Amino acid sequence: KITFHRHPLRPTTSMPTHFKLYGTMPILSPEADGVYNIFRDSPLRYCGYANEVGESFRYQYPRLVTPSYILAFGYCLADAGSAGYRILTEEDSATQDVDKRSNQTRAAIATFDTLLWQTLASVAIPGGVINMVVKASRFAVARSVGLPAILTKWLPTASGLGSIPFIITPIDNAVDFALDNSTRKYLNYTE
């Protein structure tokens, strides 16, 4: 069985020492052999959070919301494609000893899992949460008396942007738990 990630930026250590998990697939860790995942190990990772920024600015710049979701979903698709391609092209027999399925099957499962995880944890759930935070802040600000106009306009946006760092880990953990107890269990890809 292959162990899945807990978070795209935090590799697990339950694999042999020369392997770590980045995303939904085992690859050699950068510490071991210099394998670099551009979607997880570079600033490109922040493209997955573009929709949260778009949701925060929804009421000031509504035309930015759709492009922010396009950018975030594009990141999800590229990461999923990369995950599948990496497994499809691997020649390493160590992974074959862990999972007897063909490279094509493992690549399809890794692509599906990465796309599902990224869609839920990076786009759908955080976008909805930020939208609710901004709406609640707008409601509260609209009911407040005597606030300067600039605060009335920008406080909801600031609350949306400010909440992003606090929602990431709980959402990631919830999505991990949900997938570990649903699709990953069904696909026999659990810890």
Q: Kindly indicate the confidence band of residue 188, based on its pLDDT and cuts at 50, 70 and 90.
A: confident
CA–CA separation, 184 vs 13, rounded Å?
A: 19
**pLDDT tens figures, 67-96:** 999 999 999 999 999 989 988 888 765 555
Average model confidence (pLDDT) for the chain? Answer: 81
- Contacts of 68-74 with CB under 8 Å at 24 or more apart are 69/123, 69/127, 71/47, 72/47, 72/48, 72/122, 72/123, 72/127, 73/119, 73/123, 74/47
Query: Over the stretch 114-155, which tens digit does the pLDDT of each residue have?
Result: 999 999 999 999 999 999 999 999 999 999 989 999 999 999
3-state secondary structure of 7: strand
Lowest mean pLDDT among 88-97, 107-116, 154-163: 88-97
| pLDDT value for 68 | 97
Q: How far apart are the first and last CA of the chain?
A: 7
Question: pTM value?
Answer: 0.76
